[in-house]
Structure 1
Amino acid sequence: MDKKRSCCCGELPAMWWWLLTLLGLPLLFFLMTAARQGVVEKDLTTRSSAALKAAGMDWATVNLEQRGRDVQLHGMAASAPARDAALKTVQNVYGVREVQNLIEVAAAPAQEEPVQVAAPVASTEPVQASAPAPLKSPDFSLQMVEGKIVLQGVMGSQQEIDAAVKAVQGAYGTMQIDNQMQLADGVAPADWLNSVVGLLPALQGLENASLKVSASGNSIGGDLPSDADKAGLLAKAQQVLGAGIADQLAVKAPVVPEPTPMPTPVAAAPTKVEPAVAPTPEQQAVTNCQQQLNDAMTGKTVLFETNKSAIKKDSLALLDSLASIISSCQSSIAGRGIQVSGHTDNVGNDTYNQKLSQQRAGAVKDYLVKKGIEGGLITSVGLGESKPIASNDDEAGRSQNRRITFDINPQ
């Protein structure tokens, strides 16, 4: 039996089928290339524009529409080097084949003739432009007056004034601060502010403390108990503010009691013994609360991640017990408050240590507040390395100096 032929295929010779196949392949390649071209042009447009923007050449634009990988570069350049730089930037974009640089260079503005001023003499001279007025120097002063801290000075930004006030509050805690600093235009930045902030913790305990920083000269003053204390504070101040700082520090003279003349022997009168004044119930309650805090911290310390203010999980149980004690004593210490103080050893920069101790004290306060303690009852203070309780010459002593303390404020 004869096999039936297809109605279409059987009527075309094989040569025609080969011819149709050869003509269809280029058509298929063209269609695939056209579909891919739009994706390539969009990608190169995006990356070339991003490269120009990153180089600060937003004035230049690219065009790849129906151009495949060949780029047209348009725009108005301020100079020929700027035009060449834009060309090089696009040429360096991966995938770009050729760049047609159509960027124009703006014409340089015509230079004006110098203005001449008539003078009584025959010669004339060009008018000289006046130089801008120089910036004024900032200044800062701190003075302890009648139990409060008075701040004075002039700075060019409110941020600098706020930073100075915050640093003084961190150093002196609950002591009253009278901020008389002024904000003014045309004042240069206070580049020395961070260094002065790092010096403030060292002024704690200095009677009649004073500190002045200005273009006319720096000075430090106050009363210290010994020559050694004076030498140590002066050395730290010279390290921060330079060797030329004026030394107004004084050592308090020891009080020598005057000799008591021998009385003429007389018959001894009966001595009346005054009874000891017993503490009030409120005072006794405060004393008991402080003792509970001391007992809870005996042999223990709040641990932090190295060089961070993040509290380690091992110390959370200790803080929970302290929060419980403070909560039970809240009514007794409501009018006084508690100072949480951060301390470090002397390893590293003074400013860094003070800042780290402040951050750690703040982290402890935040944790206690989360445990229900009223935020206004707690003050966090960073004392850095200013109050060691052991020698910093060995690791055992330094470990004791890295600590957090809890003290009920005196009324």
Structure 2
Amino acid sequence: MSALDRFINDAAARLELGYRARSVVNVLAGWIASHPLGLDGLAQQFEQAGLGAQFRSWQRPTEPSRPVLASELEHAVRTHALVTMARRAGFPPGTFRVIACELLPGLVALASASGPVRAAALGPAGLHRPRGLTPAPARTVQGLALRGMLWMLAGVVLIGFTTWLHLKIRAPHWVAPVITEQRDARLSMHQYGDRLLVQGRLPSEAARRQVWNALTALYGRDNVRGGIELDPATRPPRWLDRLSARIAQLEGDGLLLDFNGDALRVDTSAMVAEQRLEVSRLLRHHFADLQTTGLWGPGLAALATLPAHAEATTVVEALNRTTLKFRAGSAALTGDSADTVDAVAAALTLLPASTRIEVAAHTDSTGHADASLLLSQQRAAAVVQALQERGVPASMLVATGLGQQYPVADNRDDAGRARNRRITYTVRAPERDAGTAVAVAWQDR
């Protein structure tokens, strides 16, 4: 018994396919063998669909075979090819997808070990040569000639139909899927007075109308210029609903908002100070999951106005007006903190290398005190690491976790707890870490 026959018998017993197991295996084997580039081309196609690791595991008998989901297989093979194979095997498409996920790894292994596996070909039936004919009488010659022409015409039709059927049966099942590279959604909005320039790329007409209707309702149809390109290959933006709901709050002469995938670029430099702070506050609150650059705040304003040779205490006073945020319950900085960390690092690198700065993390009173102390230490260490990555000497920084010991606001409401979750900076005496510190009051914005 051949390896393929043993495989068919195993499939019939394991999947309870009975006599239909051979039909299914033959269809799948024919599909594998029909790829114009062989197994290498098939491997490349699965690689493009993100299933390269699974396919390679099927080719290596020493490794455990990695399973594939029906939805993943349909992405690699394409729906048309799966439906065609299901019809030839005599199964509903949904059932065939599940069976194919079970049988395809084994068939690829067989093909890799012993060369291409090919479905059983149907040989054409033999044609019987007609017996010799006796000479016809002269009066019947014309009739015989007419019947001969009719038989010849029928033969041509039969040969044509047989050839078409043979080609149809042996035609490759392979339909090379077109893997379209997905792009990030983008939306840029730049306000000039009471006019707005909009440009971008969104995945659907519904998404485009959602944004366009919100903007025209706010600015007026005649004051909105530009256009939004429709691209079905664009990933759905995670920020679209939030933006549409708050677009009336995010306005101001000179404001630029540029959403690009999971990144947000903000430019408020042309706006008045009060508007800059309010827009930045709203963006920090509602889009903290995006990698945001260009936000403004009291701390960044204070750092921007520091003199060239400021004393360490003056620098620390400005640092303590900055705000850093972390993901809930973790030591991971939110995306809108990147600009602040950059500005803090730039200020610290201007100080003498002998300066010692304590970076202390505080939490609110939520949770157990010991857990809060551990989390605060992890957060302080995360800030120190981020500053070191931006060029601040490690010898200048000391990470300290203070947990919930030193609240600056009431922990009974959300606003108070938000103020208590903070990072503070203190100048340490150079001679000893535990020496008298010059503490500067921290203000949260």
TM-score by length of 2: 0.28
Larger-Rg structure: 1
Q: Which has the higher helix share?
A: 2
Q: Which has the higher strand share?
A: 1
